[in-house]
Structure 1
Amino acid sequence: PPALVEVAATRPLEASLATVPGVRRLQSRTIRGAAELSVNFEPGTDMLLALQRCESQLSEVRAELPPDATLEVERVTPTALPILTFNVAGAADQRALHDLAMLVVRPALTRVEGVGRVDVLGGETREIEVLLRPAALAAAHLTPSAVADRLARESLVEAGGRVYEEHQVLTLVVDAQATTPADIAALPIATGPNGAVPLSAVADVREGAVDRAAIVTGPGGDVVTVTVARGLGASVPDVAQAAKAAVAELVRSGAVPAGVEVTPVYDQAELVDESIAGVRDAIVLGALLAMIVLGLSLRDVRSGVVAAVAVPVTLVATFGLMHLVGISLNLMSLGGLAVAIGLVVDDAIVIVEAIVHRMEEGEPPARAAATGTTDLFAAVVGTTLTTVIVFAPLGLLSGVVGTFFGSLAATLTIAVLLSLVVAVTLVPLMAARLLKARSGAGGSGPRRTRPRRHGDTEEHGGGGGERPEAAPRRRLSRAYGRLVERLVRRPLLGLLVVVLMGVGGYFALGATATGFLPAMDEGAFVLDFFLPAGTALEETDRVARRLDRILEDTPSVATFTRRTGAEMGPAAATEQNRGDIMVRLVPRDRRAGVDDVIDGVRRRVAAEVPEARVEFVQVLQDVLDDLAGNPRPIEVRFFGPDPAVLARVAHRAGELLDGAEGLEDLFDGVEGQVPELRAQVRRAAAANLGVGPRDVADDLAVAAEGRVVSEVRLPDRTVGVRVRFPDAVRFDPAALSASPLAYGPASVPLGAVVQWSRPRAPTELLRENMMPVVVLSADVSGADLGAAEASVRDRLGALDLPEGYRYEIGGQARSARDTQLQLAAVFGVGVVLVLAVLLIQLGTLRLAIVVLLGAPLALVGAVMTLAATGVPLNASSLMGCVLLAGLVVKNGILLLEHAQHEQQAGVPLGEALARGGARRLRPILMTTAATIAGLLPLAVSPGAGAEIQRPLAVATIGGLAISTVVTLFVVPSLAALLHRVGRRRPAPVSPAPPAASA
C-alpha cells in the first residue's frame, strides 16, 4: 500500500536527497509498490555534479530500504524523452512481436551512432509458468513457498571454482539446469512413500507470459512500441535518419518476417526540419526585403549593393564564429540570425548614407568614404553597443527560458557586433571602389553658394548640382525640419504625448493576453487519460479502446500509439487506471490548427467517453514544462500536515473553480480512496498449526503474485520460471481464501489462518519538500494565462483554510512570473548600461535622459501592437521589448548626436534640433524600414519554427514603428523642455568634444 511504501522507502529517500546542495524543490509520489522522487535544483547548478551527489546519497541510504527495492536515477533532460517511435505490428502473436522488438529491432537501433537509449514496451514477455494445484499441493503436504524454495535449488547453473590440468586452468561449472517445461515438470520437489515426487504431481508447467503491467495499441489493435532517445549533443535529424535507415535495413535483409511491419509513428526530426526550413525561409525573405528597402531608399543600385553586402558577409562570419565558440546550428540560433537580418544592415545603411551625402556635396568617392566613415564612427559604435549591452545579458537567463533563448541571444549579439566591423571596414572600401562621382558635383570639388558653417547640411545650406531624384527627399527633410522647429517652441506638446501614450499603454496592457512560452503547432500531441482510481488494467484498456476509435475516425489524425499503465518518457510510477496516447497529425496543409484538432477530440471524448478524465498537451511543450517543473498551465498546491484534510480543502477549491472562465480540464488533485484486500494473520490459529506470520505471508505472496525461482538460459535470452496459483484462484478472493494449505497434521483453508478485510486507502500520496501536498491543476483555454491565474486567485479568496494549511499558485503561471521578473531585472541592468554609453556618447545627462525616455515609450508601442494583433505577452515578446530598448536608443543617438554638434558650433537649440532631424531623417527612416522588413517574415510566416520568434518579431516591429515616430517628433520636444529647465537651474556639464558632422 502507498502508506507502507512511503514509510519504508519514500521518506528515507527524501531525507537523504534533501541534504544535496542546491536542492530547490523535492517532490515525491508514492503509489502501490513504487515511489517516484523529482529533485529540482537552483538555477546555475552543475547538474552532472548534482547527479553524482544524488547517487552518492542514495548509495548511503540503500541499506535502509527494503531488500527487494530497486533504484533508478536519471537526469531529466530533453534527451530523456523519445525523438522517434516505431510501432511493431502484424500477424504474429504478442510474444513473437515482443521478441522481435527486443532481440532484433532494439539491438540494431542501439548500435546507431547518437542513440542514447532504446526502450521496448508492449506485447508479452515470455515466462515459464508453474501453476500449482492447491488440492494436490495440500495432499502432498507441501506449501507454495516450499515448492518455490525447492525448485530454486533444483534448477541452477553456478560456478564451482577452478581446476588445474596439464598447465591449464579450467573453470568448474555446475550445471543442473532444466531447459524445457517438460524438464522442469520432472524435477523432484519432495520424497514420498513411493520415492521422489515430481513437480508435475502438484503443478502444471507451461510456456506463458509475465503479467502485463501495460498495454500498447495503435490503429488496428495491439502493438509493441520501440522508442528511441538521442544521446547528449546528438542531432535529432541525424539520429532519426540513421535509426530509420537501420530499421529499413532489417526489413530488406529479412530480419523482420513477412507480415510484420515496423512503422514510425512519431518523428521529432520532421518538426525540427520543418521548423528550421521555416526560419531559413524567413532569413532569406527578410534579407531580400531589407535589400529592396535599401534600393528604394537610396534610389541607386550601386549604393544599395554596397549596403546590402553587409548581410551575406555578416551571416557567413557569424556562422564561422558560432562554430568557434561552440554554438550549434539549431532552431533558436537560426532564430537569432532571422531576428538579426534587419539589424546587421543598420550600421551599413548609416555609413553608406553618409558617404552618399558627402558625394552629393561634391566629394570624390574615396574621400567621401573616408570622411563619411570617420564622421560617424563614434555614432555607429555607440548605437551598436547599446543594442549589444541590452540584449547580450539575455543569454544569462536561468531556467528553461535561458536554455531556450540563450543561443538566440548569443547569435544575435555575435551578428550585430560583426555587422559593425563590416560596416566600418568592408562597406567604405566597397563604396570607394563601386560608387561613382556625382555628375553635377563639378568634378574636382564641392561647389556652394555660401561658406559652409560647421554642421551645415544640404537641407539648410544650399549646394550646387542637386540631382533630380534627391529633390523629393530634400523637400521631405526641410518640411520635417520646419515641423521640429515648431515642436521645439511648444515643448509641452511632447510631454502631453508621453502622458497620453502612458495612459494608452496602461489600457493596452490590460487587454493583452499573457503566457509563458510561445505556442507552436508541432503536428502532434499527447492525450493523457485517467479513469477512477483502482480501475484494473483490462477495464482501463477496454474504455481506452473507445478513445482509439475516436482518433481513428478523426481525419486530421495520421496515426497514434496508446500506452495504458505506462507513460511516455523515463521510467515513472504509473497506475493501471491511466495512460497516454501519442497522436501524430497529417501535414498542416491538410488539416486545421493543432488547437482546433484538440478541441474537436476533446468534445467527442466528453460526449462518448464521459467516465475518462483527459488532458491534452503538445509533445515538446510537455518536455519543456517537465524541465521547468511545472507540467500544467495552472497548478494550485495545498500544503498541510493531514492528507485527509488536504483532500477536503482541495475538493472544495475545485468546486470554487469549477466553471471559471478560461479554465478547462480542471482536476482537483484528489484521486480518492479505493478498497484494498488485507489479510490479517490470526496469530493464535497459525501458532496452533505450527506456522508463523512469515510463513503465511510467504505462501500468500507465492500464491497470488508468484515468485521467479530460476531462469532458463537460452542462446539469445533468459526466460524466468515463476511459481504461482492459477489465475482462476489467485484473482478470486473467495477461491484464494478457500485454497487448502498444508499447515499442521492436515490441510486447512487459507481463510483459517487469516482474517480478511477491505479497508479503503489512497491510491497515491504526494509530498513536496517533505510535506504532504495535493495539487489542483487545470489547462487554459485560449492564450491568456495571466487572466486565468487572476481568476483562480480571485475565486480562491473565498476558500476557508484551516490553521496550519496554505496554498500557492504555480504551474506555468509561476514560470511566467519568474520569467517576467528575470527579464525586468535584465532590462533594468541594460538601461543603466545604456545610460552609461549615452553619457559617454552625448556628454550630458539631460540629453541622455531624453534618449532613454524613448525606451518605455517603445514598450508602450509594443504592448499596443501585441494587443491589436492578439499575440500574447510571453517570454518571446518580452525579449522583443528588451531588444527595442537598444533600437530606440540607437535612433535617438543618431538624432541628438548631430544636433549636439550643431549646437556646439553656435547654432541655437531649435535650429540645431531641426538641422539634426533633417540631416538624420533619412538614415533613421532607412534603418527602421530595413529592420521592420527583415523581421516581417518572422511575424507573418506560418512555419512551425517562426512561431517561436513571432511574438518577438511582432513586439519589435510595432514598438519600433511607434518609437520611430516618438524619436522624430517627441524627443526633440523633450530635449527642448529639459534644456529650458536646465537654463533655469544651471548645472555645469562638460560638453562632448566636437566632432565633424556627417
Structure 2
Amino acid sequence: MVNNSQPLSLLDRIIKACLENKLVVGLALAGLVAWGIIVAPFDWQIPGIVRDPVPVDAIPDIGENQQIVFTEWMGRSPQDVEDQITYPLTVALLGLPEVKTIRSYSFFGFSTIYVIFNEEAEFYWTRSRILEKLNALPAGTLPQDVQPSLGPDATALGQVFWYTLEGRDEQGHPTGGWDLHELRSIQDWYVRYALMSAEGVAEVASVGGYVQEYQIDVDPAAMREHGVGLQDIFSAVRASNVDVGARTIEVNKVEYVIRGLGFIENLEDIEFTVVKARENVPLYVKDVANVTLGPALRRGALDKEGAEVVGGVVVVRYGENPLATIKNVKDKIKEISTGLPKKVLPDGRESQVTIVPFYDRTGLIYETLGTLNHALRDEILITIIVILLMVMHLKTSLLITSLLPLTVLMVFIGMKVFGVDANIVALSGIAIAIGTIVDMGIVVSENMLKHLDEAGEKEDKLSVLYRAASEVGGAVLTAVATTVVSFLPVFTMEAAEGKLFKPLAYTKTFALIASVIMALTVLPPLAHILYAGRFRKEQLRNALYGGLILAGIVLMFALSWWLGLLVTLIGVYHFTRRWLPAGLLDHIPQWVNWLVIAAVMFILAGTWAPLGIDKGTLRNVLLVALLLALIMGSIVLFTRHYPRMLRWALDHKVLALSGPAAIVTIGFMAWIGFDGMFGFMPDLVRKARPYAALRHTFPGLGREFMPPLDEGSYLYMPTTMPHASIGEALDVLAKLDKALYSVPEVEQVVGKLGRADTPLDPAPISMIETVVNYKPEYIVDKDGNRLTFEVDRDGHFLRDEHGNLIPDPDGKPYRQWRDHIRTARDIWDELVKVAKIPGTTSAPRLQPIAARIVMLQSGMRAPMGIKVKGPDLETIEQVGLALERLLKEVPSVEPAAVIADRIVGKPYLEIDIDRRAIARYGISLRQVQDVIEVAIGGKTITTTVEGRERYPVRVRYMRELRDNIESLGTILVPAPDGTQIPMAQLAEIRYIRGAQAIKSEDTFLVGYVLFDKRDGWAEVDVVEQAQRYLDAKIESGELVLPAGVSYSFAGSYENQIRSAQRLRIILPLALFIIFIILYFKFHRVSTSLIVFSGIFVAWGGGFLMLWLYGQDWFLNFSLLGANFRGLFQVHPINLSVAVWVGFLALFGIASDNGVIISTYLDQNFARRRPDSIAAIREATVEAGARRIRPAMMTTATTILALMVILTSTGRGSDIMVPMAIPSFGGMVLAVVTVFVVPILYAAGAEQRMMKGIQSEKSKQL
C-alpha cells in the first residue's frame, strides 16, 4: 500500500487510487477499448460486433453555409429569367435573417439562387426560413405557373458517386445495343428511385441521353384547310388522356371496382384522337399533324471516351456519413443489378444494363485512411526501437508502445461523442500528436525505472512507482496543458479555415488528453504488474509460456514466419530459463533486446519502405538502419557527453547562447525575408552587393490558403464559345475526351456538357466538366498499398495465359507510368498538350473535390479570379476583356489560364411585335405570343401515365416551318375573322447578341475573370502582384474603369487573408496563456520565461526548415539508389494555414523538455541549496544529466515519427507533410533548449546569489 503522511493533491490521489485498484482500471480500460473499436472509422469487420463508426470523408466540407432556390421556366431566355424570376426572388430573400450574401444565376430555362448564410446559422433552420419566405411571396411577384423550389438538403461537395448505364455481357465487356432514350428511361424511372431509397442519399440526378416525349408536329396548312386551331388540338389531346373511376358495384355479393381506361399508351392513341367531326366524319390528329416519339429539349449530355452515354450522380445528405452512404448505394446496386433489363443482340450475345461507376470517392477515402494507418503503425514500431535503444528494457518499450493504440482508440471515442467527422485533416491531428503521446509515457516510465533502480530490495514497489509517477505528474500535466492551449487559435478560426482545421484541433486535443490520462492512470498499474508481478503457480506459468510457443507456431504459418519465430523463441526462452546456466541468463535479456530491435527494424523497413518496395528489402533495411544509426547514434553520444558540454556552456554562457539566438534570427529572416527584416536600412546599404545577395537568398515565404490534395483524378473544365449549339458542343466534348483518353496514364475519361438534372449543377451548355481518372503510379489495393507481381531472373514481369500479371508477395510492384512521368503534375501537362481543341478555352488545374469547394466558396470555377460589377452586361464584359489582356502580362500569372466571361456572345432571335400592325387585324398581343410560344418553342399539353413511367406530350410546328428566319416569317397567326396573317407582317424578326448567362451578387450584375498562378508562385503573392500591376495601369491611364464599374479579387486566397488576420490576434494571446500556465507551474516569472524561450528557438527552427525545403541544394544527393530530395519530398513550401497549424503543434511540444528539466532543476536546487557559483553549476549539471535521457528519448521519437510522415507518399500526404515540416525542423533545432534552459536557470541563480553577496557586503559596510 502507498503510505504518505503529507497531504495529497488531487492528481496524487488519482494516481494512488489507480495503483491500488488495478481491477477497476482494467475493467474501465477494457470498456474503452471495446467502445473505441466499435466507433473506429476504419473498415474493420469484426464478427459478433455491431459497429457504429465515426462518419468518414476525404476532406471536410468547407463550402459556405448555403441553400439553393431553383426555379424552372423552360424555353425562356436568360434575360427573361433574370427580370421576371431571379431579380424579384433575390430582393425578397435578401430580407431573411442571418443572410450574408446572395449569388444568383439566370440561364436559359432556369434560375439558380445561392442564399449564403452566416456560419452560425443551423442548416435546417435556414431551409425553414427560405420556405416561409417562398410561401409568403406577394401575388404577382412571379409569372403564373412558375413555382420556385428549395434545392436538396445537400451541397455540391456531396456528389460522391457518379456512374453510367451501359450494356454489358456476362464477362463485363461492353456490348452496346441500347439506345440513349432507353437507357435514360431506365435511369429516370428505375435506377434513380432505387438508389434514392439507400440510407443517407439526398438526391440522385440524371444526366445524358434523351428524355422521351410524344411529339405532335402540326401542319398549319392542314389545320387551315380543316378549320381547326391549336386550341382545338390542345383540348382534344388533353381530353383523350384521362382515366376515371366510378366507385364500385356489387354482383353476386362480390364488390367490383369500376375503372374507365383512357390514358395514352402509344402513338396510335394520339393519332386517332378526334379533333372535330363534320357530318359524322371524324377529323383525327394524324390528319393535321405528324405524331412521333422523339427527344425532349435537353441542356446537358454525358460522354465517355468519345461515345455519348447516360448516367447519374448520387448526392449525400448533409451531415450523413459519406463512406456509409456510398456503401449503402453499392449494396442497393447489387440488389437491383440482376433485375435490370436485358436483351439479346443480333450477334446472339445477351446484353444487360449495368451500372458502371466512373467517380467513386470510396477509393480516395480508403487511401487517405490507409496513409494515416500506415503512419501510426510505423510510428509505433519506431517508438519500440527508440525506447529499446535508449533504456535497453523490453518491458518498458512494450509498456510505452501499448499507450499509442489505446490513446488512438480514446480519440475515436471523443470524435464520436463530440460529432467530429474523420477525414485526412482531422486524423492528421493524431499523426502529428504521436510524439507528444509517446513523450508522456516516456517521461513517466523512465522516471519509474530510475526510481526502481535506486530503491532497495525490500522497499514496496507500489510505493516506489507511486512516488515516481507523482514526481513527474505535475510536469506532465503542465506540458500537456501548454500543448492544448497552443491549439486554442484553431478553435477561433471561422469560415473555410475553421471547418478545415477545427476537427484537427479536436483530435489533437483528444489525443493529448487521452495520453495524459493513460500515462498517469493506466501506465503505473500496468508497470506494477510488469515490474513487480510474479506468477506464483508453476502450472500457470508453464501454461502461459506454452501458449506463447503455440501462438508463435500458428503465427509462423498463418501470418508471418519471422513474427511467429520471434514469439516462439520468447516462449521457449521463458519456458526453459530455469534450466539455463546463471552466467547465460545474465546475457540473454541483452541478446533478446537486440534481437527485438533487429526484428522490429526489419518489420519497419518492410512497412515503411522509405525507398519504395521496388528497391527491395535489403536496401530499405540498410536505409532504415542508417537513419536510426545516424539519429540514435547522435542522440546516444549527445546524452553521454551532455554533462561535459553543459559544464562548458555554463562557463561560456554568451557564446553558448549565440547559437540559439542565431537560429531565431535566421528563422525570422526566412519567414519575412531579408528585405522585410532590414528594409529600414539606407538606400546605400540596400544597393550594396552583399545586401542584394542576402535578399535573393532570403526572399521570404510565399503564402497560400491550403496545399492541394492529390485526389487521384483531375476535373478538366474548359468552355466552348457561347454561340455554340449543343450539337457542336457535344462534338467538341467527344473530341476532347478521345484526346484525353489517348494519354497512356489515363484510366478513364467521362465528360459532362451543360447540367445534370439537379439544382446543384447550374451550368450552361458551353461549360464542359471532364473527370479524368489517371492510373496510380503503381498498382495498389483499395487502401493504397502497392501490390507485387512475379518477375523472371531478368526482372521482367510474367503474365498468365490471359495476359494478366501474376500476384507474388515476393515479387516487384508494377509501375504504370512512363519513365518521364514522375508526378501527377506531369500527367496534367500531358493532358494540356493533347486537349488543345479549336473552339475551346484553356482550363485551370482543378480536381473534383477542390473544384466543388472553389465553386461553393466564390461561385467561380477557378481558385483565383476577379469579380467585375457594373451597370450593364456589355460594360462588364468590356472591362473583363481589358483585365484579361492585362493579367496575361503579370509575371506570376499563367497566361493560358486567364479567361474572362464572354457574357453577351449568345445569338438571340428577337420577334418584336408591331402593336399597330396587330391592331389593324384585331389580333391581341397575347394571341401572337401564344403562336410564338407554341408554334416555335412547343408546349407540353399533357403527360402520359405508363405504369411507373411518365412522358410529356408536346405540340409544335413542323421543323421545316421553324428552322430559319424566313420560315419564321411565314408562320400564320389567326385573325378574328378567320384569316391567317404571316408573322412577317405583324412583327420585326432580327438577330442580336445577348447573354448566355446572367450573374449577380446581392442584385448587382457581375462578371468573372478567371486566372491561375505559374509554378513556383503562391496564391496570395500572385494576387498582390496582380493587384499592384492593375493599380499601376489605372494610374497610368492604360486601364480606365467606366462609371459605376468596380472590381475585386476573389478566390481561396481570401481564406488565407482572413485566417492570417485572426491569427495575428489569437496567436499572441495563446502564447500569453502558455506563459501563464508555466507561471502557475513554477510560480516564478524568471523560470517561466526561461522555459518559454524554447518556443522561440523552435519557431526559428521550423522556419529554417521551411527555408531549406525551398533550396535546390538541400538533400540533393543519392544513396542506395534513391535521391533524398525525392525521398523527403523536398520542394518549396508556401506558408499556408496547414503550416501554421504545424507551428501551433510545435509550440506545445517545444516547451515540454524545458518544463521537465526546469521541474527537476527546482527540485534539485530546493534539495541541495547551493551556496556558491560552483555549487549552482554542479547542481545544474546534475539536474540536466538526470533529465537528459527522457528529454532525448522524446525528441528522438518525435523526430523519427515525423520522418515517417515526411517520407509518406500515400493519398493525403500532401496535407500532412506541410504540417509536419515545422515540427520536424523545430524539434531538430530545439535540442539546444536542453542547454538554453539550464544556462539561463543557472545564470539567474548566480545573479541572485551575487546580489545577495553584494547586499550582505553593503549591510556590513
TM-score (norm 2): 0.71
- Say if 1:400 and 1:627, in contact at 8 Å, map to a contact too: no
Choose which of 1213, 1228, 1235 in structure 2 pairs with 1:969: 1235
**Residue 836 (structure 1) aligns with:** 1076
**Residue 460 (structure 1) aligns with:** none
Matching residue's letter, 1:4: D
Matching residue's letter, 2:438: V
CA distance in structure 1 between the partners assigned to 2:926 and 2:336 by the alignment: 51
RMSD of aligned Cα (Å): 3.2
- How big is the shift at 1:98? 1.3
Choose which of 595, 602, 612 in structure 1 pairs with 2:825: 595
Comparing 377-386 with 54-63, greater Cα deviation is found at 54-63
- Say if 1:141 and 1:747, in contact at 8 Å, map to a contact too: no
- Say if 1:514 and 1:787, in contact at 8 Å, map to a contact too: yes
Deviations along 1:227-251, one digit per CA (max 9) or x if unpaired, are 2223345443443344334434544
CA distance in structure 2 between the partners assigned to 1:187 and 1:430 by the alignment: 89
Q: 1:962 to 1:759 in 2, by over 3 A?
A: same
- How big is the shift at 1:96? 1.3
Choose which of 1132, 1138, 1161 in structure 2 pairs with 1:876: 1138
CA distance in structure 1 between the partners assigned to 2:1250 and 2:985 by the alignment: 104
The yes-or-no answer on 1:646 pairing with 2:886 is no
Q: 1:713 to 1:838 in 2, by over 3 A?
A: same
CA distance in structure 2 between the partners assigned to 1:173 and 1:566 by the alignment: 41
Matches within 5 A, 1:682-697: 682-697=914-929
Q: Where does the alignment leave 5 or more consecutive residues of structure 2 unmatched?
A: 1-76, 168-175, 344-349, 534-581, 583-634, 675-697, 779-815, 1035-1039, 1110-1131, 1253-1261
The yes-or-no answer on 1:73 pairing with 2:186 is no
- Say if 1:568 and 1:580, in contact at 8 Å, map to a contact too: no
CA distance in structure 2 between the partners assigned to 1:411 and 1:944 by the alignment: 20
Q: 1:663 to 1:138 in 2, by over 3 A?
A: farther
**Residue 119 (structure 1) aligns with:** 205
Comparing 361-370 with 746-755, greater Cα deviation is found at 361-370
- Say if 1:390 and 1:830, in contact at 8 Å, map to a contact too: yes
Matches within 5 A, 1:426-445: 426-435=522-531
Deviations along 1:540-584, one digit per CA (max 9) or x if unpaired, are 111222101112211122122222122697443322222211222
**Residue 471 (structure 2) aligns with:** 375
Q: 1:151 to 1:949 in 2, by over 3 A?
A: farther
**Residue 457 (structure 1) aligns with:** none
**Residue 26 (structure 1) aligns with:** 102
Deviations along 1:357-408, one digit per CA (max 9) or x if unpaired, are 3344455554542322222111111001111122255245332333233332
Q: 1:975 to 1:642 in 2, by over 3 A?
A: farther
Matches within 5 A, 1:50-65: 50-61=126-137, 63=139, 64-65=141-142
**Residue 989 (structure 1) aligns with:** none
**Residue 418 (structure 1) aligns with:** 514
Deviations along 1:929-972, one digit per CA (max 9) or x if unpaired, are 1122223222211110333322112221112222232x223444
Deviations along 1:159-182, one digit per CA (max 9) or x if unpaired, are 689789899999987765443322
CA distance in structure 2 between the partners assigned to 1:731 and 1:498 by the alignment: 75
Matches within 5 A, 1:658-697: 658-664=888-894, 665-697=897-929
**Residue 770 (structure 1) aligns with:** 1003
**Residue 990 (structure 1) aligns with:** none
**Residue 90 (structure 2) aligns with:** 14
**Residue 727 (structure 1) aligns with:** 959
Q: What is the DSSP-based 3-state SS (H/G/I as helix, E as strand, rest coil) of the residue aligned with 2:149?
A: coil
**Residue 1217 (structure 2) aligns with:** 950
Q: 1:495 to 1:228 in 2, by over 3 A?
A: closer
- Identical-pair percentage: 22
Q: What is the DSSP-based 3-state SS (H/G/I as helix, E as strand, rest coil) of the residue aligned with 1:309?
A: helix
- How big is the shift at 1:492? 6.6
Matching residue's letter, 2:668: G
**Residue 463 (structure 1) aligns with:** none
Q: 1:48 to 1:396 in 2, by over 3 A?
A: farther
CA distance in structure 1 between the partners assigned to 2:106 and 2:637 by the alignment: 76
Choose which of 779, 795, 819 in structure 1 pairs with 2:1012: 779
Choose which of 954, 971, 974 in structure 2 pairs with 1:742: 974
**Residue 293 (structure 1) aligns with:** 386
Q: 1:692 to 1:382 in 2, by over 3 A?
A: same
**Residue 183 (structure 1) aligns with:** 269
TM-score (norm 1): 0.89
CA distance in structure 1 between the partners assigned to 2:749 and 2:275 by the alignment: 49
Comparing 587-596 with 374-383, greater Cα deviation is found at 587-596
CA distance in structure 2 between the partners assigned to 1:82 and 1:424 by the alignment: 43
Choose which of 706, 727, 735 in structure 2 pairs with 1:517: 706
CA distance in structure 1 between the partners assigned to 2:381 and 2:121 by the alignment: 43
Q: What is the DSSP-based 3-state SS (H/G/I as helix, E as strand, rest coil) of the residue aligned with 1:601?
A: helix
- How big is the shift at 1:153? 4.4
CA distance in structure 2 between the partners assigned to 1:386 and 1:777 by the alignment: 44
Matching residue's letter, 2:1085: L
Matching residue's letter, 1:10: T
Comparing 763-772 with 240-249, greater Cα deviation is found at 240-249
**Residue 641 (structure 2) aligns with:** 476
Q: What is the DSSP-based 3-state SS (H/G/I as helix, E as strand, rest coil) of the residue aligned with 1:532?
A: coil
- How big is the shift at 1:525? 1.8
Matching residue's letter, 2:490: L
- How big is the shift at 1:325? 4.0
CA distance in structure 1 between the partners assigned to 2:1249 and 2:1049 by the alignment: 53
**Residue 486 (structure 1) aligns with:** 651
- Say if 1:546 and 1:609, in contact at 8 Å, map to a contact too: no
CA distance in structure 2 between the partners assigned to 1:546 and 1:910 by the alignment: 79
Choose which of 216, 220, 225 in structure 2 pairs with 1:130: 216
Q: Where does the alignment leave 5 or more consecutive residues of structure 1 unmatched?
A: 440-469, 987-998
Q: 1:210 to 1:640 in 2, by over 3 A?
A: closer
CA distance in structure 1 between the partners assigned to 2:762 and 2:419 by the alignment: 38
The yes-or-no answer on 1:391 pairing with 2:524 is no
- Say if 2:205 and 2:757, in contact at 8 Å, map to a contact too: no
Q: 1:172 to 1:615 in 2, by over 3 A?
A: farther
Comparing 229-238 with 126-135, greater Cα deviation is found at 229-238
Deviations along 1:615-671, one digit per CA (max 9) or x if unpaired, are 441112123334434653212222343443333322222211114334331112343
- Say if 1:480 and 1:917, in contact at 8 Å, map to a contact too: no
Comparing 224-233 with 910-919, greater Cα deviation is found at 910-919
**Residue 790 (structure 1) aligns with:** 1024
CA distance in structure 2 between the partners assigned to 1:630 and 1:971 by the alignment: 52
Q: 1:72 to 1:486 in 2, by over 3 A?
A: farther
CA distance in structure 2 between the partners assigned to 1:594 and 1:610 by the alignment: 27
Q: 1:609 to 1:760 in 2, by over 3 A?
A: closer
CA distance in structure 1 between the partners assigned to 2:1053 and 2:208 by the alignment: 36
**Residue 25 (structure 2) aligns with:** none
CA distance in structure 2 between the partners assigned to 1:959 and 1:808 by the alignment: 38
- Say if 1:711 and 1:720, in contact at 8 Å, map to a contact too: yes
CA distance in structure 2 between the partners assigned to 1:977 and 1:656 by the alignment: 61
Deviations along 1:268-323, one digit per CA (max 9) or x if unpaired, are 11111111111111110111112211111223223323332322332333334444
Deviations along 1:82-110, one digit per CA (max 9) or x if unpaired, are 33423435211111111222233223323
Q: 1:505 to 1:112 in 2, by over 3 A?
A: closer
Comparing 794-803 with 381-390, greater Cα deviation is found at 794-803
Q: 1:741 to 1:113 in 2, by over 3 A?
A: same
CA distance in structure 1 between the partners assigned to 2:1181 and 2:342 by the alignment: 80
- How big is the shift at 1:152? 5.0
**Residue 754 (structure 2) aligns with:** 565
**Residue 536 (structure 2) aligns with:** none
Q: What is the DSSP-based 3-state SS (H/G/I as helix, E as strand, rest coil) of the residue aligned with 2:146?
A: coil
Matching residue's letter, 2:472: L
Matching residue's letter, 2:219: R
CA distance in structure 2 between the partners assigned to 1:20 and 1:550 by the alignment: 48
Choose which of 700, 703, 706 in structure 1 pairs with 2:932: 700
CA distance in structure 2 between the partners assigned to 1:139 and 1:81 by the alignment: 54
**Residue 216 (structure 1) aligns with:** 302
Q: 1:822 to 1:165 in 2, by over 3 A?
A: farther
Matching residue's letter, 1:944: R
Q: 1:627 to 1:501 in 2, by over 3 A?
A: same
Q: What is the DSSP-based 3-state SS (H/G/I as helix, E as strand, rest coil) of the residue aligned with 2:101?
A: strand
- Say if 1:122 and 1:215, in contact at 8 Å, map to a contact too: yes
Matches within 5 A, 1:397-412: 397-412=493-508
- How big is the shift at 1:726? 2.0
Q: 1:5 to 1:113 in 2, by over 3 A?
A: closer
Which of structures 1 and 2 has the larger relative contact order (alpha carbons within 8 angstroms, sep 6+)? 1
- How big is the shift at 1:49? 0.8
